[in-house]
Structure formats: structure tokens, C-alpha cells
Chain A
Amino acid sequence: MPKPAVSVFQYPRTATEMPCGPYAKAGVIVETNAGWRISRPVIAAARCVRCQQCWLICPDGAIDRTGESYAVDYNFCKGCGLCARECPAKAITMAKEDGQGE
């Protein structure tokens, strides 16, 4: 996946572990976005024409195009549905997180 894996944030344990000024390594996610998602995009690889629209549009950069087929990083996806709406091949469907249909 293009994003770093979710990591547990460790507060500095000693004064010397403190950064000088409030800065941190960029691109670190310490909590998944999944908590507020009510439905998740599911990509049907067979329908996908690799047009990159979803990858361009996703506000959270949650679409990974590096693998064999396009995939969603569900640690980052917030479930907004933009990708499903814009996919010209109708390759993305939004599945309810509680399993109660689309």
C-alpha cells in the first residue's frame, strides 16, 4: 500500500526523546479512519479498466494502484463514496459495513 502501516504512537518517555519544537515524521497514521465509515467501496477487478479516476478523486489517497488490481486501503478510506460515484466502468459498489446490503 502507498501509505505507511498504522503504528502505535509512543509518547516521549524522557526529556531527551522530545523533539525540539512540535514536529513529527510525516505520513504516520496512528489511528484508522474506519471508525466512522458506514459503507465501504468494493472494487470488482473484472470490470475495472484502470482509468485512474478513483485514484485521482479519492480525497484520502486511499486507492492503491500499484498492485495487480486496484485496491482500497480500508485503514484510510472514510467511506465517502466518491470513487463509486465517479467510476466510469461502474466497477465500484458501496457495501454496508453492517452487512445489510448496498
Chain B
Amino acid sequence: MSNEAWEGRRAFISANDAVSYAVRLCRPEVIAAYPITPQTSVVEKLSEFIAGGGMDCQFINVESEHSAMAAVMGAAMMGCRTFTASSSQGLMYMCEMLHYVSGSRFPVVMMNANRTLAAPWNIYGDHRDSLAMRDAGWLQVYVENAQEALDTVLQAYRVAEDAAVRTPAMVCLDGFVLTHTYEIVNIPGQREVDAFLPPYAPGENVLDLANPRSLCISVAPEWQTEFRCQQQAAMEAAKGAIARADGDFAAAFGRRWGGMVEEYRCEDADYVLLGMGSVMGTTRLVVDKLRAEGLKAGLMKIRFFRPFPREEIAALGRRVKGIGVIDRDVSFGNAGALYTEAKAALYSAGGASPHTVNFIAGLSGRDITKEHIETMYRKVMNAAAGGAEREIQFAGLRWEEW
């Protein structure tokens, strides 16, 4: 299909398709991938684009996810823009190379179709796979719908390749609920995308015959810490790059996603739910319902988990009475990952902290219903009023009233 057939059009496509179109528009030079449900259709469509001649890109078929990440790292060493995608068990198998890519400061962009981890075996969505990769040194962004998925891929390249950032980025989509759901999506034109995302200008850590360098060198204890400090600084610098990318994107395409976080009806809110990904769409409806009843409800959608929006959460904490955190994961022996980090951010807010409750929900594709979310708000209100509430709760257990 020639570009003209879909460029600048509204199309009824899945979020996985939206990612494929976005990647095509970003003109990567090398893609390497291994299929895994529910990611497969992303790389399937990209390989069709390349086979059909619509995309000037090399697709490397590999025997595993570990090799996929190794292959795109090799291409990145040559200064290429690259892409790969994975999910769940595949992401686990990629783990070693995720660290290699981030530590080497190659701005690879990947899509992760969020799916739970075995055992028990299950192919449906939750955030346990990407959150297990929290410390792999990648930017992590979670999206709510297909349009945001497309737009975020474009922004991810901008942020990852920013000279002050040079850090790989993982765009996370909820498995099935997003990846396989069809929505109306605006596909931007190639010319506009080219203007927003100039060709990749790599730094000095590339292979160059005229200027030979050793890449991925061993680094002794005497200066390993300095490299880590640099990675941390790059993540902090990403916060500014994310805001700039969002602003420039809004100017170019007329859509704005909020950068690090998006607040919905938080201006005068007393009770706020935090969460990531598609569940935020349902939560908006519940906020509207509670607002209609006169309750001051709001939500904060955490888009970027890395870098973490410490400042935004601390600022929210200074003005609300109660905060609930929806986690589609649990770190056994403590709490949900988002809750743990949000609570730490609130601690550094200074002054009185709001009451907090953690809701473990939506594991392995379990629906999070509007009723569940309304119950969460009521539990947060109860906690804020001094009522007895367990701090960490599994939402909607079969043997509990919710």
C-alpha cells in the first residue's frame, strides 16, 4: 500500500496497527524481532510494509528475543535508528540485552505488549512484565488508547535520541485490551512526522572506520560509578525532553498527552486515583459520575514510570486528602510497584501526607470494572476520613464483596 492511501487519514485500526504505522513513519533503518502474543501483529505488519517496498528498512528475523535486542544493538552501534517489540516471557528473555543497550546509551525504541508472567501460564494483560524491567535503565511510558500509542511512539524517538538523554525507550500497551482493540486513529502525514522527528544524529559511540573506537568496553570499578551517575542524569534530563516533545507535538499535530503525567479533574480534587494504561479510560467515567454526585474526585494518569514523576505526585499530595493507587502488578512481600514509588514521592512532599491505599487489580487480564473503581474511590474517602482500611488490597477477590 502506498503511503498516500493512509497518510493523514482517519483509520479504524488496532492499537498494534497504530504502533506499526507510527514506526513506519519514524523511518527506522533496522528492525529485528521475534513474535510473541499479543505483540506479534506489530512486527508482522512492519514486515509486510518492508516486503511490499513501502519501507526502506532491513528486517532481521532472529531466533529469540535476546537475539532481537542484540541485533538492534548492533545496528545502533552503526548509528542506525532501530525498533523492536516484545512481551512477557519474551521481555524476560531480552532482559540481559536491555541492560546492555541502556548502559551503552543507544536510543533504541521498543514496544512492549503488557502481558502477565508465568506461572500460572496466561497470555492476558497486566504490568508485571515491564515493571520487572524497572531497573533496566529504559524510559518506560504507558498509554491509554490507540491514538496515544501512535503519538507516543513518535515522541519516544524524539526523547530517546535527545542529545542530553540518549537512553532507550519502551512504549507499553496493555495486552489485548489495547493491542487488539480497534479504534478510530488519526494517522499523521509523512512530511509532518519528518518535520517533527529529524533523522537520527548519533553521538560518538558508533563504529567508524575513519575514527576507530572500541564500544561497550569493560569499565573498572574506578569509573563505573561515574557511568551510572551519567545514566541517572540522563533520566532526569529526559523529564525536560518529554515536556518539550509533548509541546512540540501539540504544536505540530494538535494533540497533547501531558508529558510525564496527565491530570483529569484534579484542580480542586480531594480524592485521586493514580494508575497507568488503559484502566485510566474507565476511571475517567467514574470520576465524571462521582463529580455529578458532588464528590471531588480526580485521577492522575502516570504516563512515564521511568523517569518517575516524583515532583508531580509530591505536588498532588500537598493538596488532596486521599490517594488511591491502582497497580496491575504486585511485588510479592511488599506492595504494587507504582504504589511503592508514589508513596515514596509523597513522603518527600513535605507537610502532612494524604491517606493512601493500594489496589492490586487487573492481574492477568482480569477486568477492572467501573464498580470496582467506584469502590476504590469510596475506600480512599473512608481512609481519608479516618475509617479502617487495609493499606494494600486485592480488588474484587472472588470471595470478597466489592
Contacts and interface: CB of A to CB of B under 8 A. Distances in A.
A21 interface: yes
B334 interface: no
B205 A21 contact: yes
B212 interface: yes
Interface in B103-141: 103-106
Interface string A4-38: 00000001100100111111111100000000000
Given A11-B223, A20-B105, A20-B230, A25 B213 contact: yes
B230 A23 contact: no
B293 interface: no
B212 A15 contact: no
Given A12-B223, A12-B226, A15-B230, A22 B213 contact: no
Contacts of A26: 212-214
A101 to B, nearest CB: 38
A21 B214 contact: no
A22 B226 contact: no
Interface residues of A, number: 13
A22 B204 contact: no
Contacts of B104: 21-22
A21 B223 contact: no
B86 to A, nearest CB: 23
Contacts of B227: 18, 22
A22 B212 contact: no
B137 to A, nearest CB: 11
Nearest to A23: B205
A18 to B, nearest CB: 6
A22 B226 CA distance: 10
The number of chain B residues touching the other chain, given as a range, is 20 to 34
Interface in A54-78: none
B216 interface: yes
A46 B223 CA distance: 49
Interface in B204-219: 204-205, 212-217, 219
A68 B183 CA distance: 76
Contact of B213 (A15, A20, A24): A24
Given A26-B214, A27-B212, A21 B226 contact: no
A15 to B, nearest CB: 7
A80 to B, nearest CB: 23
B4 interface: no
Contacts of B233: 15
B203 interface: yes
Nearest to A11: B223
Given A11-B222, A12-B226, A20 B205 contact: yes
Contact of A19 (B106, B204, B212, B229): B204
Taking each of A21, A23, A24, A25, which has the highest tally of chain B beta carbons within 10 Å of its own beta carbon?
A21
A25 B215 CA distance: 9
Contact of B212 (A11, A18, A21, A25): A25
Interface of A: 11-12, 15, 18-27
23 contacts: A11-B223, A12-B223, A15-B226, A15-B229, A18-B230, A19-B205, A20-B105, A20-B204, A20-B205, A20-B230, A21-B103, A21-B104, A21-B105, A21-B106, A21-B166, A21-B203, A22-B205, A22-B216, A23-B215, A23-B216, A24-B214, A26-B214, A27-B212
Interface of B: 103-106, 166, 203-205, 212-217, 219, 222-223, 226-227, 229-230, 233
Given A18-B226, A21-B106, A22-B103, 19 more contacts: A11-B223, A12-B226, A18-B227, A18-B230, A20-B205, A21-B103, A21-B166, A21-B205, A22-B205, A22-B215, A22-B219, A22-B227, A23-B204, A23-B217, A24-B217, A25-B213, A25-B214, A26-B213, A26-B214
